[in-house]
Amino acid sequence: MISIARFTVEGLKENCVTDNPHPMFAFYYESEDQSIIDHAIFTLSNGYKKELKDEVSLIYDGPKFDAYTRYEATLAAVDNKGNETSKTIYFETGKLSSSWEGKWITDGSYEFTDKGISPRIMTFRKKVMMEKEIKEAKIYATAIGVYRIDLNGAKVGNAFLKPGFTSYANNLMYQVYDVKEQLKNGQNDLVVNVGGGWAVGAFVFTRVNRVYAARQALLLELRVKYTDGSEEVIPSDTSFDVSLEGPYVAGDLYDGECFDARVDYDKISYHKASLETMKLQPKIMADYSSDIVVNREMPHYEVKEINGKWRYDFKQNLAGVVHLHIKKAKAGQKIIVHHAEVLLKDGELNLDLLRTAKCTLEYICKDGEQDYTPEFTYMGFRYITIEGIAPEHVDVVAYHLTSDIEETGAFKCSNEMLNQLDSNIRWSSRNNFEDIPTDCPQRDERMGWTGDISIFAPTASYNFQMDRFLRKWLVDVKSEQLKSGSLPNTVPIHGYGFPATMPKMAIDFWGDAILTVPYALYEAYGDLDILKSFYPNMKKYVKAEKFWANIWGVGKYRYIWHTPALFHFGDWVSPDVDQMSAWQKRSKYTATASLRRCSQLLAHIASILGEKEDQAYYEKLSEKVKDAYVSVFTSDGKLKKEEFQTGYVLPLAFDMFEGQDKENALKNLVALIEKNDYCIGTGFPGTPYILFVLADNGYEDVAYKMLLNTKAPSWLYNVSVGGTTIWEKFDGMLADGTCRPSKDGTGNMVSFDHYASGSVGEFLYTRIAGLRIVEPGYKKFAIKPVLGGDITSVETSTLTPYGRINLSWKKEEGQFKLHVDVPMSTTCQVTLPNGEEQVLTYGCHDIACAL
Ligand code: BGC
C-alpha cells in the first residue's frame, strides 16, 4: 500500500499562514510493498491543478490568492500497481497586499533616552465587547520590540519573542493567532505588553539601543466573523490605553527580567495610546519563521546551598528560561535568579563570562501560590542560583527554548564519547537556533554571525529540517548585502557597524555564507530555487572579494587577498596561537583560500544553472587564485613562512595542490599534527575540513587519531571533562570544570555553547557512517564508510526530501554487515570496505562482505 508520508506547505505540516504568492509544497511517498509512484495530481481548492510524476516538491504558480482565506491542498497519487492514496493539508493566506486597519500605536509620553539599557515595557490595554455569537476570531499582530498578548488573563499562542528578529528596516513579520476559544461573549480584556527586544532594546556587545526606533510600537487587528455573517475589525488605535506601570518592570534580552506579581492591571494608571509615525518602512509579511517555543522541560538534578543561595544544576547546558512554581510566598517577597554556564572554583556561578549581560531574574511575589515564566529574555545556562526562596517552597524547571525545527537526523556508534560529541553538537544547534542562527546564547552577543552558520549549515541540515529556518534568515542576508557586494559580519547587522572604518570591505569566510548557506540547502533539500534566487547575490559577493584581493598587488599578488589583517578574522580561535592578532595575521591565507573556494563554488553553481559563460569566468578566476596561493605561499607543497594546520588544510580542501606538491603538503600537514600530539590546531576556517582532507587522501589513521584524541585541544577533550555542548574554544574548560583563563586578547570571549567547531558532525555522518550526497536532495547518494579507530558499529538516519534513509553497519565475526533503507525514487551507490560496489534502489537492503 502506498501512502503519503509527509506533506508540508512552506515547511509546515499545519497552522501555516502565508503571504507568499508562490508557496512551496513538499511531500514524499512510502509503500509497504515497494511499489513506486506512477503519477499524482496536486489540486488546490481554488481550482489549481498540477500533474506530477515522481516529484517531491512543487512551487505554486497559479492565480493570485485571496487574503484571509483558508485553502485546501490535496495530493492524490497512484502507484505502479494501481493503488491509490491521497492526503489533504490546509493553509491560510494572511493579509497579502490588503492594508492594515490597525494603526501603529505607542506611549507618546515616553521619552526613552538612556543608553546601554532596554526601555520600560509598554502595557497596552483594551476592553473588547463581543455581543454576537462568534464564528471565527483572529488576532493579527506585530510590534517594534517584542510582545506578549494576553486575552482574558491567558497568554495568546505559545511562541516567545515575537515578532521575531529580522532586519527591521527591511523586513518585519506579523503573527496570526486563532483566538476563538479565548474570546467570550460580553467584555474581553486584551492586554499587550511590548518590550524593547532587538529593535529598541540594548543589543550587541556595544549595547546599542534604539537601533530601529526611539521607542516601542504596536500594530494589531482583532478580526471577528459572527455566525450571522457580519464581520468586525477591532484595530489598534487611540482607543487603546497604555501604561508604563505594568507588572513587567524591566525586560532585556541580555540582562533578564524584573516582574512584580503584585501589580494588578485594573489598578495601574493608564493614558490614551497615541499614534506613532514610523520612520521604518519594512515589508510586513505573515510570519515565515520557525517559532521559538518550549522544546522540552528540563528537571534539575542537584540543589546545593552556596553562600546563602540555592544553586541548581540542570546537568545540561541549554538556552531558555526557568519556570518557577512558587508554592507559598508573601506579597513583596523578592526572588533573584542568576544563570551561568560554568562555576568558579568556590562553587559560585562564573558570571564574568557573560560580560555585560546580567542574565538575572527578579521576581516580586504576590501572596500565595503562583507561577512565573520570563517572557522578554532568554539565557544560556547549566546552573542557576536562587535567592529569596527555599527549595521546599518552589518547583523549578528549565524551559529549553529554541526555534521549532524538527530534528530529523540521528547518529549513534559504538564509541560512547563520539555519541556524546554528537549530542553536544545537537544541543549547541538547538541552543543557537533562536529565530536566527546565533553564535552563542549566553553572553552579550547572540548575534547572527555569518561565519558560524556558514561552516555549520551542512551538519545542521543533516540533523534538522533547516530549510524554513534558514530561508527566513536568508531573506535578511539578501536585504543586507551591501551595494559593494560585501556582507555584514552579522545578519541582521543591527547597529553593529563592524568593520566600522571599512564598511564596504568583504570579509573572508564570514561573507562566504552568502554562497555556502544557500548551497547547503540546495545539497540537502534539492532546493534549486534558493540557488537561482541567490545567484546574483553570490556573483556580487565574489566580485567584491576579487576587488579587495586585486587592489593591493601586482602580478600574482593580485589574487592574494591581503587587505590589512585587522579587518579579517583569519584563523579565528585557532588554539595553536593563543593571540587574536596572530589569528588575524593569517588572514592573507584564509582570505585567498576563501576567494578560491567561492569562485570555484560559484563556477559549479553557474554550471548547475546553465550559465556557461559565467562558469568559464569563475573557473578561470579560481585557477588564478589557486596558482597564486600555491606559488606565493608554498614551495614544493611546503608553506614558506609559517607552517600551521589551516595553512595546509584550506589549499588541500579546495583542491589547490597537484601531483607531488599535494603529496608533500599532506605529509607536511601530518608532520605538524604529529608534532602537536594529534591535537587540533585549526580555527573556524580549517576546522570543518581537516578530517576530510586527511581521511580522503590516505591518512584515515591520522584523522581518527585526531578525532578520538582526548588531550586538549581536541573535540573529545570537551567530552572527557563533561562538556554537554560544543565550546567556542577547544580547551575552554579545565579538567575541574572551571574556565581556563583566556589570555588571547579577546577579553572574556569564552563561550561554552558555540556550534562552529561542531561542524565536525559532517565527518561523523558522511565518513564514519559513510552517508554522502551525490545528487542534491539525496536523489542519488553514496554509502562509503571510512573505517577506523575503535568503531565497530554505527546507526544513523536522516530525512531526505524523498523519505528517510536509515543506515547501519557493524563489524561482526570478521564480516562487515550493512543495512540501508533507500527511499523511493532515489538510488544508492554502496562501496564496501573490500572495494566492491553495488547500486541499490528503493527498498530495505542488507549486504555484507568479509573484512
Ligand atoms: C563570535 C563568533 C564570531 C566572531 C567573529 C565572536 O565574538 O562569538 O562566533 O564569528 O566573534 O570573529
775-815 confidence digits (pLDDT tens): 999 999 999 999 999 999 999 999 999 999 999 999 999 99
| Number of helices (H), then strands (E), in the chain | 14, 44
* 71-108 tens-digit pLDDT: 999 999 999 999 999 999 999 999 999 999 999 999 99
Half-sphere exposure of 360 (CA within 13 A, CB side): 14
Query: How many Å separate Cα 556 from the centre of its chain?
Result: 38
Cα 187 to Cα 125, 131, 151, 184: the distances in Å are: 13, 9, 11, 7
Ligand 1 centre to CA of 401 (Å) is 22
Is residue 822 pLDDT above 90, yes or no?
A: yes
Q: Ligand 1 within 6 A of 571 CB?
A: no
- The answer to whether the CB of 440 is under 6 A from ligand 1 is yes
Q: How confident is the model at residue 408 (pLDDT cuts 50, 70, 90)?
A: very high
User: Which pLDDT score is estimated for 113?
Assistant: 95
pLDDT in tens, 543-572: 999 999 998 788 999 999 987 766 789 999
Ligand 1 lined by 449 (C-beta under 6 Å):
yes
Q: What is the pLDDT of residue 225?
A: 97
Q: How far is the CA of 696 from the centre of ligand 1 (A)?
A: 29
Q: Which of 607, 655, 646, 606 shows the shortest CA–CA distance to 627?
A: 655
- Which residues have CB under 8 Å from 784's CB, separation 6+? 770, 772, 830, 831
Distances (CA, A) of 636 to 561, 661, 710: 22, 5, 33
CA of 192 relative to ligand 1 center, distance in Å: 35
**Which ligand 1 atom is at minimum distance from the Cα of 450?**
10
Segment 12-39 mean pLDDT: 96
Residue 838, C-beta contacts closer than 8 angstroms, at least 6 positions apart: 829, 830, 832, 847
Is 445 one of the catalytic residues?
A: yes
What percentage of the chain reaches a pLDDT higher than 90?
Answer: 94
Nearest by Cα to 570 from 647, 631, 667, 674: 647
CA-nearest residue, atom 2 of ligand 1: 439
The β-bridge partners of 160 are 292
This prediction's pTM: 0.97
Sign of CA dihedral 712, 713, 716, 720: positive
pLDDT tier for residue 141 given thresholds of 50, 70 and 90:
very high
Q: Name the CATH superfamily housing domain 2-93.
A: Immunoglobulins (2.60.40.10)
Confidence of residue 578 (pLDDT cuts 50, 70, 90): confident
How many CA within 13 A on the CB side of residue 373? Answer: 18
Please state the atom number of ligand 1 nearest to the C-alpha of residue 569: 12
844 C-beta neighbours (distance < 10 Å), count: 11
pLDDT in tens, 724-735: 999 999 999 999
Whether the CB-CB separation of 156 and 222 falls below 8 Å is answered with: no
Q: How far is the CA of 439 from the centre of ligand 1 (A)?
A: 7
Any atom of ligand 1 within 6 Å of the Cβ of 749: yes
Q: How far is it, in rounded angstroms, from Cα 596 to Cα 829?
A: 30
Max distance between CA atoms of the chain, in angstroms, equals 85
Exposure string of 740-750, with b = 16+ CB inside 10 Å and e = fewer, is eebebeeeebb
Interacting residues of 181 by C-beta distance below 8 A, sequence separation 6+: none
* Ligand 1 site, residue 445, Cβ cutoff 6 A: yes
Distance CA 793, CA 787 (A): 10
Query: What pLDDT, on the 0 to 100 scale, is given for residue 500?
Result: 46
DSSP 377-401: --EEEEEEEEESS-GGGEEEEEEEE
| Distance between Cα 143 and ligand 1 center (Å) | 29
Report the alpha-carbon distance of residue 362 to residue 365 in Å, rounded.
10
Atom nearest to 489 CA in ligand 1: 5
Q: Establish whether residue 455 lines the binding site of ligand 1, counting it when its CB lies within 6 angstroms of any ligand atom.
A: no
Percent of the chain with pLDDT over 70: 99
With a 6 Å cutoff on the Cβ, whether 439 touches ligand 1 is: yes
139 lines ligand 1 (CB under 6 A): no
Q: Scanning the structure block, which residue is given the C-alpha cell 531526505? A: 800
DSSP-derived secondary structure letter, 198 = T
User: Burial of 684 by CB count in 10 Å (0-12 exposed, 13-18 middle, 19+ buried)?
Assistant: buried
Confidence band for 503, pLDDT divided at 50, 70 and 90? low
Distance 415 CA to ligand 1 centre (A): 31
Peptide bond into 801 cis (omega under 30): no
CA of 569 to the centre of ligand 1 (A): 9
Which SS3 state, helix, strand or coil, does residue 317 take?
A: strand
Ligand 1 pocket: which of 439, 574, 583, 730 to mutate (most atoms within 8 A of CB): 439
pLDDT band at 382 (very low <50, low <70, confident <90, very high): very high
* Residue identifier of the C-alpha nearest atom 1 of ligand 1: 439
Q: Cα-flanking dihedrals φ and ψ of residue 613, to 5°?
A: -65, -45
- Measured in whole angstroms, how far is the alpha carbon of residue 192 from the centre of its chain? 28
Per-domain residue ranges for the chain? 2-93, 105-246+268-289, 293-403, 409-768, 772-850
Q: Is 572 in the pocket of ligand 1 (CB under 6 A)?
A: yes
pLDDT category of residue 501 using cuts at 50, 70 and 90: very low
User: Would you say 629 and 665 are in contact if contact means Cβ atoms under 8 Å apart?
Assistant: no
- Selecting among 221, 434, 728, 762, the annotated active-site residue is 728
807 CB-near residues (< 8 Å, 6+ apart): 769, 770, 771, 783, 794, 795, 796, 797, 818, 819, 820, 821
Closest CA to 832 of 816, 812, 813, 808: 816
Q: What is the number of residues in the chain?
A: 851
Q: Measure the CA–CA gap between 109 and 269, rounded to whole angstroms.
A: 13
Q: In this model, does residue 462 exceed pLDDT 60?
A: yes
Atom of ligand 1 lying closest to residue 756 CA: 9
Q: What's the average model confidence in pLDDT over 814-843?
A: 97
Pocket test for ligand 1, best of 449, 590, 684 (most atoms within 8 A of CB): 449
The residue whose C-alpha atom lies closest to atom 8 belonging to ligand 1 is 439
pLDDT in tens, 831-847: 999 999 999 999 999 99
CATH annotation of 293-403 = 2.60.120.260
Question: How far is the C-alpha of 757 from the C-alpha of 764, rounded, in Å?
Answer: 13
At which residue does the C-alpha cell 575541574 appear?
A: 736
2.40.110.10, 1.10.1030.10, 2.60.420.10, 3.40.50.2300: CATH of 772-850: 2.60.420.10
Quickly list DSSP for 652-691.
HHTT---HHHHHHHHHHHHHHHHHTTT-----TTTTTTHH
CATH of 105-246+268-289, one of 1.10.3980.10, 3.40.50.720, 1.10.10.10, 2.60.120.260: 2.60.120.260
Task: Given the residues 257, 445, 545, 762, select the one marked as catalytic.
Answer: 445
Please report the atom of ligand 1 found closest to the CA of residue 439: 9
Domain 105-246+268-289 identical in fold to domain 772-850: no
Alpha-helical runs (H) found in 551-611? 580-585, 587-608
Instruction: Tell me the three cell numbers of residue 100.
Output: 492594515
Provide the residue type at 69 as one letter. Answer: T
Please give the backbone phi and psi of residue 633, each rounded to the nearest 5 degrees, phi first: -95, -20
Compute the average pLDDT of residues 752-762.
98
Q: Which residue has 560529541 as its cell numbers? A: 421
Nearest CA to ligand 1 atom 11: 449
First-to-final CA distance of the chain: 38
Ligand 1 pocket test: pick from 454, 572, 586 the residue with the most ligand atoms within 8 Å of its Cβ.
Answer: 572
Mean pLDDT of 258-276: 98
**What residues does 186 pair with on adjacent strands?**
130
> Is there a catalytic annotation at residue 375?
no
Nearest CA to ligand 1 atom 4: 449
Closest C-alpha to ligand 1, atom 12: 569
How much is the average pLDDT of 398-402?
98
Phi, psi of 562 (to 5 degrees): -130, 50
Distance 387 CA to ligand 1 centre (A): 33
Q: Look over the chain and give the mean of its residue pLDDT values, rounded to a whole number.
A: 96
Q: How far apart are CA 221 and CA 103, in angstroms?
A: 9
Nearest atom (ligand 1) to Cα of 684: 10
Q: Whose CA is nearest to atom 9 of ligand 1?
A: 439
CA of residue 746 to ligand 1 center, whole Å = 10
Q: How far is ligand 1, taken at its centre, from the CA of residue 753, in Å?
A: 12
CA of 752 to the centre of ligand 1 (A): 13
Whole-number Cα distances in Å, 66 to 47, 94, 842? 13, 9, 40
* 3 state DSSP class of 300: coil
pLDDT of 511 over the 80 cut: yes
**Whole-angstrom Cα distance, residue 697 to residue 680?**
18
Q: Using pLDDT thresholds of 50, 70 and 90, give the confidence band for residue 506.
A: confident
Atom of ligand 1 nearest to the CA of 751: 8
Q: Which atom of ligand 1 is nearest to the CA of 749?
A: 7
In ligand 1, the atom with minimum distance to the C-alpha of 452 is 10
C-alpha of residue 468 to centroid of ligand 1, in Å: 24
Quick one: average pLDDT of 116-145?
97
Category of 246 on φ-ψ map: left (φ > 0), alpha (ψ -120 to 50) or beta: beta
Q: For 647, list phi and psi in degrees, rounded to 5.
A: -60, -30
Overall fold of domain 409-768: Glycosyltransferase (1.50.10)
Choose one of 203, 434, 445, 727 to mutate for the ligand 1 pocket test, by most ligand atoms within 8 angstroms of C-beta: 445
